[in-house]
A and B are shown apart, each in its own frame.
Chain A
Amino acid sequence: MDATSIARDTSTLSEARPLDDADQATASVDDEDLAARIISLVELARSGDKAAFGELYDHYQGAVFRFLYYRVSSSTLAEDLTAETFFRALRGMSSFRWQGRDFGAWLMTIARNLAADHFKAGRTRLEQTTEDTEALDSTTEGPEQEVLALLTSETLRDALAQLPPEQRECVIMRFLDGLSIAETAENMGRSVGAIKQLQLRGVRNLAKLVPVGSL
């Protein structure tokens, strides 16, 4: 997921857009046509076009689900929160403003808040007991493919669940959501240096937890 932000040249749109956030419209996709299309869809959706919102849903639902999947304890819960995220987005669509970030970032903010609320409410505990016995043998260097074969989204999620919250969030943002260090720092309200420390500690701890003996 090597997404680069394409700050769109919005000169064609700026006349049409009544809000002064035209220069902030951004879509984080490589394909420029797709980026233009997403921006248009957002414009339509925030002026009340539900079909456009439906297409945005098609585009982002997988990402939102993935985002939530690694942050909560079960697929069912991730699905529930995905639904709630999109319902909130639909309700808040008219108040959406471009802030120089991808529309997806807005969705992820909603999703993150929902996940946070969920844990605040104490309905679920994050801790999951997993067998973390055979995880510590890290003597030989194995190729990436071997890791891949053994690393599934389930094992990864279970391992992540055992990290301290800050490390978990940092590792998820950096290596699963594909955010840059700077973006992660901004999202977590920490300095770039702190994120560098956090990601190293997080990945080190994670390496001890993933059941990948060959690493």
Chain B
Amino acid sequence: MTARRGITRWLFGSLANPDQQNDSERHHMLPRPQPSTGAEAFARMLDGAAEVRSWAVPDLDDLPELVALTRAMGSVQAPAPRPEFAASLRTQLLESDPVVLREPERPIAEAAAEIIDLAASRKRKATRRAYTAAAVGSLVLGSAGIAAAAQSALPGSPLYGVKRGVENLELSFATNDTARGHDLLDQARTRLSEVQQLSKSSDASNTTLIQKTLQAFSTSAAEGTNLLFVSFQRNGNARDLAEIQRFATTSAGQLNSLSPSMIEQNRAQMLEASSLIANVEQQSKMLCPTCAALPPLNEQYQQLSATSNQTSGLNALLATPRMVLLPQASGPVTAPAETAAPTLPKSSQPAKPTTPPQPAPAPQPTNTNALGQTLGAVLTPVLKPVLGTVGGVLQATTGTVGGLLNTLVPPAK
């Protein structure tokens, strides 16, 4: 062994010193039938190659030992946590604050439940059923009063999370994008009035809240107007644009009425909000110059429903989106503009835009109020009618009680 190493060293002395830094660079120029570094040879042997010999690398003699050591490492008796520790941790985990539920857009739990080994989960189902009964009971009793009380809550107040949760819940009832768009604009309006109220107090700690609320305004506004623009493109319904324009006009007015010092303090957020509004206003006017003259949505709905039964389904969706629980018919909805024309002499069917409007990009909703979203997310799967199967509903409600509590009690750090 040693003799061979000596000879190799002697022959290839300057070439084959594996400790040299430039070792690996040099190897690219060499033919590679053999490993050219010890590291390479070791890697090959770990992969199962028989003992590797290389003329280029003399220091391979210890490699079999090293490989044996790594194999031994792999089969060292695995250390395990104490069983009592593992068991108590499991209990703690399952009794801790519930998982913060993400709002499922489709009933994922349901589908996954089908795949999961049902036999093993039968026992779990029984306990879940008990949990569910308790959850639903306490929800019904407790949440209505709290939700009502939360409606006037301002950012920073304990019930504000509930308010946002209820908003998200309402949003989840919207059965199509148009209704979602309207709901989101409603939310944006609420955010803006919150900003106005917050800006009246001189509390310095409000600045962060104002900024967050302004951001939430921009997010909802961008998403809502975007949905309505898309809805207009799809349905050609001028009322969507009218809604956008009304929203833009009032929002612009409210933003302008904020005090200069407030604007100065929250420059970035103000800029974002007002440029968004200006952009939206411009786009909607470009698409439909006469739309702003349309009456507000609810009046129009009443007029329409008085004269037409055909479109009442759609109008009901649009006018009272949060009351509609029926699943929306899939496929494009026909525009009710023809029926609208007789009652609304001023509005003609808007010309289909030759170039599609560029909806304002909808930023991802920022997690401005995790608690608020939590409640919405928690309630949604329970109440969402599409969560059909018992398994899915039970599934989703398991964490509900805790979720509600979690909303009211700030999580312990």
Contact = CB atoms under 8 A, between A and B. Distances in A.
Interface stretch (A46-54, A98-106, A107-115): A46-54
9 contacts: A65-B80, A79-B85, A138-B65, A176-B74, A181-B43, A193-B39, A197-B37, A200-B43, A207-B65
Interface of A: 1, 12-13, 15-18, 36-37, 40-41, 43-54, 57-58, 61-62, 65-66, 69, 75, 78-79, 82-83, 86-87, 90-91, 93-95, 138, 141-144, 147-148, 151-153, 156-157, 171, 174-176, 178, 181, 193, 196-197, 199-200, 203-204, 206-207, 210, 212, 215
A151 B105 CA distance: 52
Nearest to A12: B115
Interface residues of B, number: 65
B203 to A, nearest CB: 31
B102 A175 contact: no
Given A48-B99, A93-B99, 16 more contacts: A18-B104, A37-B116, A37-B117, A40-B115, A48-B98, A50-B94, A50-B98, A51-B398, A52-B116, A61-B81, A79-B85, A83-B92, A94-B99, A94-B100, A143-B68, A144-B72
A46 B102 contact: yes
B81 A82 contact: yes
**8 nearest A-B pairs in the assembled complex, by CB-CB distance:** A16-B111, A43-B112, A196-B39, A48-B101, A147-B72, A18-B105, A94-B102, A153-B79
Contacts of A153: 76-79
A4 B62 CA distance: 29
A37 B124 CA distance: 16
A103 to B, nearest CB: 14
B350 interface: no
B3 interface: no
B257 interface: no
B299 interface: no
B90 interface: yes
B38 interface: yes
B389 to A, nearest CB: 12
B11 interface: no
B333 interface: no
Contacts of A199: 39, 42-43, 46
Contacts of A93: 99-100
B26 interface: no
B99 A90 contact: yes
A22 B305 CA distance: 44
B73 A151 contact: yes
A45 B82 CA distance: 25
Contacts of A36: 115
| Most interface-central of A50, A62, A65 (chain B CB within 10 A) | A50
Nearest to A64: B81
A65 B73 contact: no
A1 B40 CA distance: 22
Given A144-B72, A199-B43, A53 B99 contact: yes
Interface string B63-99: 0111011111111111111100110011011101111
Nearest to B128: A51
Interface string B43-62: 10010000000000000001
Nearest to A16: B111
A210 B79 CA distance: 17
B390 interface: no
A175 B70 contact: yes
Contacts of A152: 76-77
Contact of B399 (A18, A50, A176): A50
Contacts of A69: 79
Nearest to B67: A203
A143 B68 CA distance: 8
Contacts of A48: 98-102, 109, 378, 381, 395-396, 398-399, 403
Contacts of B323: none
Nearest to B394: A49
Nearest to B121: A51
A207 B108 contact: no
B106 A18 contact: yes
Contacts of A53: 93-94, 99
Given A44-B395, A48-B398, A175-B73, A66 B65 contact: no
A18 B387 CA distance: 13
B369 to A, nearest CB: 15
B375 to A, nearest CB: 13
Contacts of A65: 79-81, 86
Contact of B89 (A16, A18, A45, A82): A82
Nearest to B23: A197
B109 A47 contact: yes
A176 to B, nearest CB: 6
Contact of A50 (B40, B86, B99, B121): B99
